[in-house]
């Protein structure tokens, strides 16, 4: 992946409603002075959730025009800025490197979207295609989760870095295994009524699992429930959540 394919952002409170600044020249990402293009919080390219956009706006405008009169106030502002920058990095994923200006230290580091750490180098982890937006879908012999560019996977796959609660991980595994088991039984006995009832139950269980996944990953990611791939048209759907809100 080349520098021209990435969309770097600098997070810095400069007195404007949006603290996000982009580059005119994508190749100049090492130069802090090159981040001159203010990116509106309602810009459809980063497509920020309303809660995240408001958090960025509030933080940016909370900086006094004349600067901070006390170091504790400055430290608090810097800490709040780092928190919202991490949310931004997690939302945008690896294609939008986020750099945060620490006014207290006078430094700018890259905020890792997957591990929440700060790095001096933009590509400290390379550019892994970790899943950002998620899909929950039941399909025979497939993992219950999938993401564009990542494929299907199981909830405790370390490459996905989801860190879901153990109970939810176990329930997702059980759901996927139940789909495999019941479909194998249907192939053997061809009991249409029984199969239809099982699909209805699995469909409801999957919707609840998707809602729980959305709750855990928070409002900075979309989680879409697609139903059952092997359950016929009545078992297919498309419902999307951001956190606890259906969108």
Q: Which of 119, 144, 173 is the C-terminal boundary of a domain?
A: 119
Spell out the residues 6+ positions from residue 214 whose beta carbon is closer than 8 angstroms to its own: 221, 223, 241, 242, 243, 244
Identify whether residues 101 and 153 lie together within a single domain.
no
Q: Do 114 and 172 fall within a single domain? A: no
In a domain, 185, yes or no: yes
61 falls within a domain: yes
The sign one gets for the Cα dihedral 118, 120, 121, 124 is negative
Same domain, 98 and 153: no
| Residue 99 and residue 25 in one domain | yes
For residues 46 and 105, membership in a common domain is answered with yes
**DSSP single-letter state for residue 69:** S
Verify that 108 and 146 share a domain, yes or no.
no
Rounded CA gap, 209 and 156, in Å? 15
Domain end, chosen from 119, 152, 170, is at: 119
The pLDDT assigned to 132 comes to 80
125 inside domain: no
pLDDT of residue 211: 98
Residues 102 and 72 in one domain: yes
- Distance of alpha carbon 151 from alpha carbon 143, whole angstroms: 9
Look at residue 38 in the predicted model and tell me its pLDDT: 95
pLDDT of residue 6: 64
Residue 208 lies in a domain: yes
Full-model pTM: 0.59
Q: State which of 119, 149, 182 marks the end of a domain.
A: 119
Same structural domain, 214 and 115: no
Per-residue pLDDT of the chain (247 residues; tens, 9 = 90+): 334 456 899 999 999 999 999 998 888 988 999 999 999 999 988 889 899 999 999 999 999 988 898 999 999 999 999 999 999 998 887 778 999 999 999 999 999 887 767 888 776 555 455 678 899 999 999 999 999 878 899 998 877 878 899 999 999 999 999 999 999 999 999 888 898 999 999 999 999 999 999 999 988 789 999 999 988 777 889 999 999 999 9
Do the beta carbons of residue 63 and residue 79 sit within 8 Å? no
User: Do 72 and 24 belong together in one domain?
Assistant: yes
126 within a domain of the structure (yes/no): no
Residue 127 and residue 1 in contact, taking contact as beta carbons nearer than 8 Å: yes
| Residues 73, 96 within the same domain | yes
Q: Are residues 84 and 138 in the same domain?
A: no
Q: Please check whether residue 124 lies inside any domain of the structure.
A: no
Kind of pairing between the strands at 107-111 and 98-102: antiparallel
Other beta carbons within 10 Å of 240: 16
The answer to whether residue 127 is domain-embedded is: no
Task: Give the chain's domain count.
Answer: 2
Would 143 be classed as within a structural domain? yes
Residues 9, 109: one domain? Answer: yes
Instruction: Note down the domain range covering 178.
Output: 134-246
pLDDT number for residue 3: 42
């Amino acid at each position: 992946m080349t520098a021209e394919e990435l969309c770097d952002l600098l997070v810095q409170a400069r007195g404007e409603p949006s603290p996000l600044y982009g580059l005119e020249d994508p190749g100049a990402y090492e130069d802090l002075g090159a981040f001159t293009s203010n990116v509106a919080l309602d810009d459809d390219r980063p497509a920020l959730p309303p809660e995240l956009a408001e958090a960025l706006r509030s933080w940016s405008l909370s900086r006094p025009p004349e600067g901070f009169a006390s170091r504790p106030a400055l430290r608090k502002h810097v800490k709040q800025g780092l928190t919202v920058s991490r949310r931004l990095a997690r939302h945008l994923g690896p294609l939008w490197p986020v750099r945060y200006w620490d006014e207290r230290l006078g430094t700018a580091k890259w905020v890792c979207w997957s591990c929440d750490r700060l790095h001096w180098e933009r590509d400290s982890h390379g550019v892994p295609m970790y899943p950002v937006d998620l899909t929950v879908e039941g399909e025979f012999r497939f993992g219950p989760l999938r993401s564009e560019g990542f494929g299907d996977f199981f909830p405790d796959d370390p490459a996905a870095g989801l860190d879901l609660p153990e109970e939810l991980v176990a329930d997702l595994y059980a759901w996927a295994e139940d789909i495999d088991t019941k479909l194998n039984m249907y192939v053997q006995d061809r009991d249409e009524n029984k199969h239809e009832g099982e699909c209805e139950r699995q469909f409801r269980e999957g919707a609840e699992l998707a809602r729980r996944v959305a709750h855990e990953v928070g409002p900075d990611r979309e989680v879409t429930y697609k139903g059952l791939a092997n359950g016929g048209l009545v078992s297919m759907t498309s419902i999307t959540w951001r956190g606890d809100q259906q969108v």
